[in-house]
């Protein structure tokens, strides 16, 4: 069954929404982490690059309002203001980049990485001629400020970086508020989709249009889907967080003195219940044979040369190498010769257990010891 | 001589290389396992050779000779079994039998399994109740499990050993009698034996355990449980499930009172028995008594107590939760280690608290993870049930399922809780409720990881799971993919319900792939839906709705004829439902379009017979076909028919006949009569209604 699933899976993205690819989500996650440390400038840019895919539309909406809020702040401190303006500019650049990115249709992960790199490159280029591009879409005040700060960037990259960070956070807030705005939309679309669910049993007419909407729906539901993903990725993992704090790891893990008792009826019956949990009808004849073997209805299927050969778990070599038991015998001479023949014979005998073989050798030792007189007479030395 | 020596040396060298590469390729690879066979022969005389090699070539990693691998006794069978895949065109292996007996619907498959199992049980019963006739031992070597078992006590005299034997054989009444006799005789029964007697009495609630038909019994209890869960019933319903309730003053209580000395085991088993048989108040009281006697409860008892607390009536969820927390604190204070069942019991009980239970449930879950108790599938099942209790609330539906699936994906499970087999069903239910196909694939992927498929549960749960899954596929997936799944899953995994097939039909309609319909009808006949009128109406409606190319119309007409025959043969069954007017209409239209005019006309006859009214569209189509065959007689027949039903369309039809056909004077008159008749009858009926 499984290979089939995987065979089917590649087909599926056709019906999915093209924009909910993994790359964009990663960017969102980075944004979502409120104080995410962005180590290098390059990194930041990369974020912008991918991020722009998602926020292109929102930025277009939010840029003007953003500008206004900045203006009010600008009265407080000029220097501060200039920095922010720069960031606005960078944001603006992102918009333009994003339009490029959107046009490239759904790159595969490898291509996406390439395109990100390309974006970084172009971003660095655009950094230099940012003011020029900016003139198209930004108010004149901002433009003036931007040209002032473009130089500033050259000198103090460190501060710019931290500003970028802060800006990222602000950006996140903006996106959040937007998201909230969109939530109402989502809920509406949810309701609609539910209506479809309720009706699908009775009226065909209603299901069909919904299907069509799902497959060729426009920007609106696209946003809905996107924010759904957003919601999923931004959301805290519900399985992590506050706990009861009654038990402590130490007390639980420490070994209690175990009193070995026979399992009570409760334990036995519980084990039986457990065994029944994953009892399934047999899948094939071999599975049936396995079950019969386990039930003891079938003789065991031989798995090696030692099938049905139970010798207290003694190993192969103990059966074959019996020389070590000949230590007490003379190193040479007819007795040695005789004993070597005996061990040779024993090592080939599959019917005796190891213990019996040793006993057999033992018997010969005793025998020769008893016959020492005769041996001496015939001039054979034992030890 | 030298050549021989050289060759031998080469052989050793090769061998060493082999083991080395095998070693690198992977410790479980084939080469190391062969070692026992080959290497003994090669190395036996000169075990030092590899060492020499290694000394020569410095810098080569050390050769670690792997331990001999011990194989399970069924290893070969397991390997063989893993080579057999599911045959998507055949019934599952369990059903393979005489072809005539292979089930084709879920109902049949169930009775098949029951019949098989009851046959086994009957045989076992006969053998065990007449062991003397089954003494012949034909197997060599001896197979003990084929011999009759002895269920009758062998020890006749009155002694503690006899009591122990009766306890072991689970003879409740005989054990109690023996205990009483022992007591009367003045013998004291040891604490251990009386404890195991208590175990027996408490587990079975002082009733004889039902004889050995586990299969039916478990099915029954599961169904009840299912019903209880689906109806969201309160504990009241649960009482039915535990057929025997704890009777006050029963033998367990009597013996417990008679016992001269009691240890904590005696108390614990009593408490567990009371909770199991729903004597909740007594259980909690007995726990106080246990504490008063300065004894400690074990973890199982605490689990039972938690259950008792949660089930106890007349209390608010908040109070119950506080009581549970109190119990947990006592556990911690008494240094009782909680186990999986502790937390599962809590979560299971929290399900009853509905909305209130969510926060405590999450905290409980985190607690168990924090102290290193791995949740089982049942744990997640309880969470899902708690968070997706009200299916109707789509707004703000929880997203916890995503966390759960993220955590579980790729894991393999072993059974650890009796409810472990509920997880997949409830996860798929949530997927279907969230309409999330992605998630459904994820759940299905988890099901197919390792041996996880074994957790899908008994037959009805598997059907539920796959029905939900397939319906979701029909709703969300591309039709080609859906059809692939259809081929894959049906019938080798489950038999579809009629609703499943209707879902598929609707998907086909949406994707404009109506040509598959005759095949679906064939299948549904096979799966026992021949007499499902909703399915048949759906099929007919879809086929008749639009015009199609001629070949397809022919196929549709054949299918329609087949469906028609099922309506007719239905007379054989009792209480045959009537022909629905829609089906009559559709079948007639289909015949007409396929050019089977005669049969279509017969259908018109059926309208009269069953007192149903043909639709305007149908009559128009009949008129078209009459025109096509330029048969004014037929046209007039249609007008007549419309007249007999007093349809308002009658006049229009008559006008069409006048205009489109060359008709004789006679026929014209007849037409005139008809139309006037209808107007007359119309006015008649009007007046009669007016009166």
Whether B194 shows a pLDDT value over 60: the answer reads yes
Determine whether the interchain pair B203/A274 forms a contact, defined as Cβ–Cβ distance below 8 Å.
no
Using a CB-CB cut-off of 8 Å, the residues of chain B touching A315 are 68
Report pLDDT for B572: 53
pLDDT tens sequence across A16-31 = 343 333 333 433 333 4
If pLDDT is split at 50, 70 and 90, which confidence band does B275 have? very high
Whether A58 shows a pLDDT value over 60: the answer reads no
For residue B276, give the DSSP letter.
H
Whether B236 shows a pLDDT value over 80: the answer reads no
Write the residue in B93, B94, B454 that is nearest to A278 by C-beta.
B454
Alpha helices for B334-458 (secondary structure H): 340-350, 358-370, 377-387, 400-408, 423-434, 437-447
* 3-state SS assignment for residue B65: coil
Measured in angstroms, the CA of A40 and the nearest CA of chain B are apart by: 31
Alpha helices for B149-213 (secondary structure H): 160-168, 172-184, 191-203
Determine whether the interchain pair B93/A251 forms a contact, defined as Cβ–Cβ distance below 8 Å.
no
Contacts across the A-B interface (CB distance below 8 Å):
214
Determine whether the interchain pair B203/A265 forms a contact, defined as Cβ–Cβ distance below 8 Å.
yes
* For residues A310-314, average pLDDT: 72
pLDDT tens sequence across A271-285 = 998 988 888 888 899
Instruction: Say if B214 is an interface residue toward chain A (CB within 8 Å).
Output: yes
Long-range contact pairs involving B645-649 (C-beta distance under 8 Å, separation at least 24): B645/B607, B645/B613, B645/B614, B646/B678, B646/B681, B646/B682, B646/B685, B647/B613, B647/B614, B647/B616, B647/B619, B647/B678, B649/B616, B649/B619, B649/B620
Write the residue in B80, B407, B445 that is nearest to A239 by C-beta.
B407
* For residues A168-173, average pLDDT: 54
If pLDDT is split at 50, 70 and 90, which confidence band does A90 have? low
Instruction: Say if A289 is an interface residue toward chain B (CB within 8 Å).
Output: yes
Measured in angstroms, the CA of A47 and the nearest CA of chain B are apart by: 25
CA–CA dist B154, B236 (Å, integer)? 43
Report pLDDT for A170: 57
Please tell me which residue, A219 or B103, carries the higher pLDDT value: B103
Using a CB-CB cut-off of 8 Å, the residues of chain A touching B488 are 1, 4
Using a CB-CB cut-off of 8 Å, the residues of chain A touching B490 are none
Whether B310 shows a pLDDT value over 50: the answer reads yes
Minimum Cα–Cα distance from B81: chain A residue: A286
CA–CA dist A168, A174 (Å, integer)? 10
Whether B36 shows a pLDDT value over 80: the answer reads no
* For residues B45-56, average pLDDT: 44
Name residues 348-387 of chain B within 8 A of A (Cβ). 362-367, 369-373
Name residues 269-288 of chain A within 8 A of B (Cβ). 269-270, 273-288
Determine whether the interchain pair A296/B454 forms a contact, defined as Cβ–Cβ distance below 8 Å.
no
Using a CB-CB cut-off of 8 Å, the residues of chain A touching B441 are 5, 9
Using a CB-CB cut-off of 8 Å, the residues of chain B touching A296 are 143-145
List phi, psi (to 5°) of A158. Answer: -60, -50
pLDDT tens sequence across B622-644 = 888 888 888 888 888 888 888 88
Of residues A149, A92, A148, the one with CA closest to residue A123 = A92
If pLDDT is split at 50, 70 and 90, which confidence band does B210 have? confident
Report pLDDT for A374: 86
Minimum Cα–Cα distance from A291: chain B residue: B74
Instruction: Say if B123 is an interface residue toward chain A (CB within 8 Å).
Output: no
Report pLDDT for B218: 44
If pLDDT is split at 50, 70 and 90, which confidence band does A228 have? low
Write the residue in B78, B196, B335 that is nearest to A251 by C-beta.
B335
Measured in angstroms, the CA of A237 and the nearest CA of chain B are apart by: 6
Share of chain A above pLDDT 90, in %: 8
Measured in angstroms, the CA of B421 and the nearest CA of chain A are apart by: 6
Whether B471 shows a pLDDT value over 90: the answer reads yes
Minimum Cα–Cα distance from A214: chain B residue: B476
Instruction: Say if B39 is an interface residue toward chain A (CB within 8 Å).
Output: no
Instruction: Say if A344 is an interface residue toward chain B (CB within 8 Å).
Output: no
Length of chain B counted residue by residue: 691
Measured in angstroms, the CA of A317 and the nearest CA of chain B are apart by: 9
- Residue B178 contacts residue B156 (beta carbons within 8 Å): no
Measured in angstroms, the CA of B682 and the nearest CA of chain A are apart by: 34
* For residues A341-366, average pLDDT: 91
Instruction: Say if A205 is an interface residue toward chain B (CB within 8 Å).
Output: no
Using a CB-CB cut-off of 8 Å, the residues of chain B touching A251 are 332, 335, 337
The single residue listed with the structure tokens 């899976």 is: A9
Instruction: Name the token pair of A109.
Output: 């992960």
If pLDDT is split at 50, 70 and 90, which confidence band does B23 have? very low
Measured in angstroms, the CA of B335 and the nearest CA of chain A are apart by: 7
Report pLDDT for A229: 57
Window from B53-67, B312-326, B429-443, B555-569 with minimum mean pLDDT:
B53-67
Q: Which of A82-96, B215-229, B512-526 has the highest mean pLDDT?
A: B512-526
Determine whether the interchain pair A243/B332 forms a contact, defined as Cβ–Cβ distance below 8 Å.
no
* For residues A125-147, average pLDDT: 46
Please tell me which residue, B567 or B465, carries the higher pLDDT value: B465
Name residues 442-461 of chain B within 8 A of A (Cβ). 444-445, 448, 451, 453-456
Instruction: Say if A240 is an interface residue toward chain B (CB within 8 Å).
Output: yes
Report pLDDT for A69: 44
Determine whether the interchain pair A238/B400 forms a contact, defined as Cβ–Cβ distance below 8 Å.
yes
Write the residue in B80, B144, B370 that is nearest to A296 by C-beta.
B144
Whether B620 shows a pLDDT value over 90: the answer reads no
If pLDDT is split at 50, 70 and 90, which confidence band does B568 have? confident
pLDDT tens sequence across B373-430 = 899 999 999 999 888 876 555 556 778 889 999 999 999 999 999 999 999 999 999 9
Whether B321 shows a pLDDT value over 50: the answer reads yes
Window from A191-195, A223-227, B615-619, B684-688 with minimum mean pLDDT:
B684-688
Window from A27-41, B88-102, B461-475 with minimum mean pLDDT:
A27-41
Measured in angstroms, the CA of B393 and the nearest CA of chain A are apart by: 10
Using a CB-CB cut-off of 8 Å, the residues of chain B touching A14 are 478
**Mean pLDDT of the residues in chain B:** 80
CA–CA dist A88, A65 (Å, integer)? 12
Q: Which of A161-170, A246-255, B17-26, B554-563 has the highest mean pLDDT?
A: B554-563
Measured in angstroms, the CA of A325 and the nearest CA of chain B are apart by: 17
Report pLDDT for B395: 55
Instruction: Name the token pair of A42.
Output: 């390059």
Whether A100 shows a pLDDT value over 80: the answer reads no
Please tell me which residue, A140 or B358, carries the higher pLDDT value: B358
Report pLDDT for B226: 43
Share of chain A above pLDDT 70, in %: 33
pLDDT tens sequence across B507-521 = 999 999 899 999 999
* 3-state SS assignment for residue B569: helix
Measured in angstroms, the CA of B81 and the nearest CA of chain A are apart by: 5
CA–CA dist B62, B54 (Å, integer)? 8
Whether B282 shows a pLDDT value over 50: the answer reads yes
Whether B281 shows a pLDDT value over 60: the answer reads yes
Measured in angstroms, the CA of A122 and the nearest CA of chain B are apart by: 36
Whether A185 shows a pLDDT value over 70: the answer reads no
**Mean pLDDT of the residues in chain A:** 60
Of residues B344, B427, B341, the one with CA closest to residue B379 = B344
Please tell me which residue, A221 or A260, carries the higher pLDDT value: A260
Instruction: Say if B38 is an interface residue toward chain A (CB within 8 Å).
Output: no
In this prediction the pTM is 0.67
The single residue listed with the structure tokens 């048949």 is: B536
Report pLDDT for B48: 41
* For residues B314-318, average pLDDT: 82
Report pLDDT for B577: 58
Determine whether the interchain pair A265/B454 forms a contact, defined as Cβ–Cβ distance below 8 Å.
no
If pLDDT is split at 50, 70 and 90, which confidence band does A81 have? low
Whether A121 shows a pLDDT value over 60: the answer reads no
Alpha helices for B549-664 (secondary structure H): 550-569, 581-593, 597-609, 616-628, 632-644, 649-660
Name residues 184-213 of chain B within 8 A of A (Cβ). 196, 199-200, 203
Please tell me which residue, B546 or A250, carries the higher pLDDT value: B546
Instruction: Say if B10 is an interface residue toward chain A (CB within 8 Å).
Output: no
Whether B474 shows a pLDDT value over 90: the answer reads yes
CA–CA dist B50, B43 (Å, integer)? 9
CA–CA dist B553, A4 (Å, integer)? 34
Report pLDDT for A39: 40
CA–CA dist B537, B543 (Å, integer)? 10
* For residues A213-236, average pLDDT: 49
Minimum Cα–Cα distance from A6: chain B residue: B445
Share of chain B above pLDDT 70, in %: 82
Whether B300 shows a pLDDT value over 90: the answer reads yes
Write the residue in B81, B400, B435 that is nearest to A290 by C-beta.
B81
If pLDDT is split at 50, 70 and 90, which confidence band does B455 have? very high
Whether B152 shows a pLDDT value over 70: the answer reads yes
Report pLDDT for B658: 80
Determine whether the interchain pair B362/A211 forms a contact, defined as Cβ–Cβ distance below 8 Å.
no
The single residue listed with the structure tokens 């072991």 is: B168
Determine whether the interchain pair A283/B364 forms a contact, defined as Cβ–Cβ distance below 8 Å.
no
Using a CB-CB cut-off of 8 Å, the residues of chain B touching A286 are 77-78, 80-81, 84
Report pLDDT for B424: 94
If pLDDT is split at 50, 70 and 90, which confidence band does B328 have? very high
If pLDDT is split at 50, 70 and 90, which confidence band does B179 have? very high
Please tell me which residue, B56 or B43, carries the higher pLDDT value: B56
Please tell me which residue, B661 or B292, carries the higher pLDDT value: B292
Write the residue in B366, B404, B420 that is nearest to A243 by C-beta.
B366
Minimum Cα–Cα distance from A3: chain B residue: B448
- CA atoms lying within 13 Å on the CB side of residue B417: 23
Window from A34-38, A76-80, B62-66, B140-144 with minimum mean pLDDT:
A34-38
If pLDDT is split at 50, 70 and 90, which confidence band does A346 have? very high
């Amino acid at each position: 069954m499984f290979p089939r699933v995987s065979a089917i899976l590649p087909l599926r993205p056709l019906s999915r929404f093209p924009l909910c690819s993994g790359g964009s989500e990663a960017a969102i996650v980075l944004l979502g982490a409120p104080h995410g440390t962005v180590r290098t400038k390059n990194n930041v840019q990369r974020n912008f690059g991918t991020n722009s895919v998602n926020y292109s539309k929102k930025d277009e909406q939010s840029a003007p309002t953003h500008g206004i809020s900045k203006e009010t702040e600008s009265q407080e401190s000029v220097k501060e203001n200039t920095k922010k303006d720069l960031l606005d500019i960078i944001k603006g650049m992102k918009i333009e980049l994003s339009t490029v990115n959107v046009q490239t249709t759904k790159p595969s992960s490898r291509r996406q990485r390439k395109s990100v790199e390309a974006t970084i490159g172009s971003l660095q280029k655009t950094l230099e001629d940012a003011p020029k591009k900016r003139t198209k879409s930004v108010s004149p005040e901002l433009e003036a400020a931007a040209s002032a700060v473009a130089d500033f960037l050259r000198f103090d990259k460190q501060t710019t970086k931290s500003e970028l960070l802060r800006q990222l956070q602000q950006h996140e807030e903006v996106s959040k508020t937007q998201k909230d705005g969109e939530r109402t939309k989502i809920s509406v679309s949810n309701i609609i989709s539910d209506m479809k669910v309720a009706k699908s049993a009775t009226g065909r007419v209603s299901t069909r249009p919904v299907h069509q909407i799902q497959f060729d729906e426009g920007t609106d539901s696209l946003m809905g889907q996107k924010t759904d993903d957003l919601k999923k990725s931004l959301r805290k993992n519900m399985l992590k967080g506050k706990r009861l704090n009654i038990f402590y790891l130490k007390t639980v893990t420490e070994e209690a003195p175990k009193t070995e008792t026979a399992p009570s009826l409760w334990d036995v019956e519980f084990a039986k219940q457990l065994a029944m949990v994953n009892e399934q009808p047999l899948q094939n004849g071999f599975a049936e044979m396995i079950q019969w073997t386990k039930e003891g209805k079938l003789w065991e299927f031989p798995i090696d040369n030692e099938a049905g050969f139970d010798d207290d778990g003694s190993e192969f070599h103990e059966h074959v190498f019996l020389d070590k038991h000949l230590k007490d015998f003379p190193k040479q001479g007819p007795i040695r010769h005789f004993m070597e023949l005996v061990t040779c014979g024993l090592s080939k005998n599959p019917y005796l257990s190891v213990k019996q073989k040793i006993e057999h050798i033992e018997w010969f030792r005793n025998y020769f010891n008893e016959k020492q007189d005769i041996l001496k007479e015939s001039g054979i030395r034992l030890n | 001589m030298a050549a021989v020596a050289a060759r031998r040396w080469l052989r050793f060298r090769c061998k060493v290389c082999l083991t080395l590469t095998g070693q690198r390729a992977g410790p479980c690879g084939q080469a190391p396992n062969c070692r026992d066979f080959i290497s003994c022969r090669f190395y036996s005389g000169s075990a030092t050779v590899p060492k020499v090699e290694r000394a020569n070539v410095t810098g080569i990693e050390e050769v670690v000779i792997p331990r001999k691998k011990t194989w399970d006794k069924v290893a070969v069978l397991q390997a063989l079994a893993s080579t057999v895949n599911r045959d998507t065109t055949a019934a599952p292996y369990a059903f393979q039998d005489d072809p005539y007996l292979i089930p084709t619907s879920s109902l049949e498959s169930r009775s098949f399994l029951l019949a098989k199992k009851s046959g086994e049980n009957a045989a076992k019963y006969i053998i065990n109740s007449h062991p003397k006739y089954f003494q012949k031992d034909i197997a060599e070597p001896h197979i003990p499990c084929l011999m009759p078992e002895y269920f009758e006590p062998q020890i006749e005299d009155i002694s503690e050993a006899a009591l122990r034997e009766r306890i072991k054989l689970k003879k409740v009444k005989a054990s109690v009698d023996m205990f009483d006799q022992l007591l009367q005789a003045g013998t004291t029964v040891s604490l251990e034996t009386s404890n195991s007697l208590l175990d027996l009495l408490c587990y079975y609630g002082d009733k004889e355990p039902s004889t050995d038909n586990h299969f039916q019994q478990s099915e029954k209890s599961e169904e009840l449980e299912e019903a209880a869960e689906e109806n969201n019933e309160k504990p009241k319903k649960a009482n039915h499930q535990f057929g025997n309730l704890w009777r006050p003053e029963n033998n367990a209580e009597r013996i417990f009172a008679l016992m001269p000395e009691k240890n904590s085991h005696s108390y614990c088993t009593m408490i567990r028995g009371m909770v199991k048989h729903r004597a909740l108040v007594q259980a909690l009281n007995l726990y106080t008594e246990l504490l008063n006697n300065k004894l400690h409860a074990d973890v199982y008892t605490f689990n039972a107590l938690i259950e008792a607390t949660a089930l106890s009536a007349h209390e608010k969820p908040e109070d119950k939760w506080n009581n549970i927390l109190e119990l947990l604190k006592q556990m911690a204070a008494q240094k009782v280690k909680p186990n999986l069942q502790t937390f599962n019991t809590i979560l299971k009980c929290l399900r009853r608290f509905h909305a209130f239970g969510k926060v405590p449930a999450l905290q409980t879950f985190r607690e168990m993870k924090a102290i290193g108790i791995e949740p089982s599938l049942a744990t997640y099942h309880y969470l899902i049930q708690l968070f997706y209790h009200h299916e109707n609330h789509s707004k703000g539906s929880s997203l916890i399922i995503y966390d759960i699936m993220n955590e579980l994906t790729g894991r393999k499970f072993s059974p650890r809780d009796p409810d472990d087999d509920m997880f997949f069903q409830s996860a798929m239910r949530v997927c279907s409720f969230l309409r999330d196909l992605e998630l459904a694939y994820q759940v299905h992927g988890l099901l197919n990881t390792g041996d996880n498929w074994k957790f899908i549960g008994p037959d009805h749960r598997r059907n539920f799971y796959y029905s939900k899954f397939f319906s979701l596929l029909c709703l969300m997936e591309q039709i080609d993919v859906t059809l692939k799944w259809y081929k894959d899953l049906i019938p080798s995994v489950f038999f579809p319900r009629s609703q499943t097939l209707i879902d598929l039909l609707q998907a086909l309609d949406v994707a404009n792939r109506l040509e598959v319909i005759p095949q679906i009808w064939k299948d549904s006949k096979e799966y026992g839906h021949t007499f499902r009128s909703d399915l048949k109406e759906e099929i007919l409606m879809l086929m008749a709705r639009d015009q199609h190319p001629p070949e397809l119309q022919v196929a549709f007409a054949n299918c329609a004829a087949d469906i028609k025959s099922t309506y007719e043969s239905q007379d054989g069954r009792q209480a045959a439902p009537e022909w629905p007017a829609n089906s009559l209409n559709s079948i007639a239209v289909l015949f007409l379009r396929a050019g089977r005019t005669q049969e279509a006309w017969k259908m018109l006859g059926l309208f009269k017979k069953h007192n149903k009214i043909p639709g305007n569209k149908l009559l128009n189509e009949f008129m078209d076909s009459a025109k096509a065959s330029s048969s004014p007689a037929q046209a007039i027949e249609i007008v007549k028919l419309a007249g007999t039903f007093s349809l308002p369309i009658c006049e229009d039809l008559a006008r069409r006949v006048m205009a489109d056909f060359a008709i004789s004077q006679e026929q014209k008159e007849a037409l005139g009569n008809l139309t006037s008749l209808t107007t007359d009858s119309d006015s008649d009926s009007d007046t009669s209604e007016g009166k």
